[in-house]
Amino acid sequence: MSKVKVIPCSGIGKVFGLMARETALKITNELKTGETEILCLGHIVTGDADAKEKIEGHSCITIDGCPRLCSAKNVSLAGGIVKAKYRTVDEMRNHKGVDAGTATALTEDGWKIIDELSEKVCTKVDEILKEDE
């Protein structure tokens, strides 16, 4: 079984990018270690052969910070099959007025949003793995 690739964007300078990375890390390092694998967007964008081989034709989930969708677009360009794309800015819309933190540190509320988003993504991972069987 091929692991589902989870690729966060590399957003720096705002909380949204940090949220994308922390969500991807939580899923791949804690919640779905056997079924998912995190990949570095930078490697994909620069055309790294190993990264390309890992995503070309494989099921991917992208987690972006904002509507520019840097991860979703570049994964798709590199031949990855983007089965689901998430934007942390959308999660914040469901939590209006909540202080999730800064570009470098999340608040307790910020971590709660990460937990919720991670659960959603994990449900998606299960669906994708069923489809790919």
69 is a contact residue toward ligand SF4 (CB under 6 A)? yes
* 103: nearest Cα among 7, 22, 25: 22
16 is a contact residue toward ligand SF4 (CB under 6 A)? yes
Single residue of 3, 17, 23, 114 touching ligand SF4 by CB under 6 A: 17
Q: Hey, what's the torsion of the CAs at 112, 33, 55, 116, to 10 degrees?
A: -20
Strand order from edge to edge, sheet including 36-38: 36-38, 4-8, 59-64, 81-87
82 is a contact residue toward ligand SF4 (CB under 6 A)? no
Span interacting with ligand SF4, options 3-11, 32-40, 102-110, 117-125, rule CB under 6 A: 3-11
Residues in the site for ligand SF4, rule: CB under 6 A? Answer: 9-11, 16-17, 64-66, 68-70
